[in-house]
Amino acid sequence: MELGLQDRVCVVTGSTAGIGLEAARILSAEGARVVVNGRGEEGVAKAVDEVGAALGVAADVSEAEGVETLISTTEDTFGRVDCLINNVGYARQVDFMAVTDEEWNSLWQLNVMSYIRTIRAVLPGMRERGYGRIVNVSSTAGKRPSTGMPDYTVTKAAVLSLSRLVADIYTKDGVLCNAVAPGPTASPAWLAEGGLADQLSVKSGKSREEVLKGVGGGRPIGRLAEPEEIAAVIAFLCSDRASYVTGAAWSADGGTVPVIL
């Protein structure tokens, strides 16, 4: 199926690993001019080489200056942004009462404000051209709260609301905005040393292997997602094949959330 992504300029935040890296890989394979992003120069350079991206920009998008660097560098290089994929984010296991005000604010800056700022930065150009695709990566936790990740849950719910809001305001200008809500995914967030699997292991007293088996088995599909499975949904929503899709929150969770939303 021809997705119509040839030469589209696609910015993917948090794309040096996991879902973001795989989204960059698929978009690049479809002929898009992909801009990968991460905090470190080394990781960005490695991702550019790995996926054949057109450009890499090292910038911390949890800060306004980082967003300005990312979007202005892209526009200076290519003249526009056609597709924005907001993927950057962080999750951890923590008790609700243990999250400090500073930690709430820090995660809000990364998981929500980075999305708001990047969207504000690309909207003028998208509206002027009458074309744009915005895909925001949320989570099943945004649809059904995860009690073990309270700050993450609240920020991902905000991403769903933001996505619908932007769609409601700007679809008439040709800017389509959607969210993707993945379930647990076999990405570094879960599998890396000290990641969510290790955190749950410490919390539950179970082995890492038992945790991963239990988390995967808790999905109707019976396993964790692979990053490329989520990335394929993102690529579709960026494509011309999704020209009548806006304001949606696409579950890509193996049936995790047992309601129709």
Q: Among all residues, which ones are annotated catalytic?
A: 152
Q: CA triplet 122, 123, 128: central angle to 5 degrees?
A: 110
* Strand-pair partners of 10: 34, 83
**Residue 180 one-letter amino acid:** V
CA dist 22 and 2 (Å) reads 19
User: What is the per-residue DSSP string for 164-176?
Assistant: HHHHHHHGGGTEE
**Residue 197 one-letter amino acid:** A
Helix (H, G, I), strand (E, B) or coil at 256: coil
Question: Does residue 253 contact residue 225 with C-beta atoms inside 8 Å?
Answer: yes
Sign, Cα dihedral of 33, 38, 42, 46: negative
Sequence-ordered strand ranges (E) for 88-208: 132-137, 175-182
CB atoms within 10 A of CB 51: 23
Structure tokens of 153? 């849950």
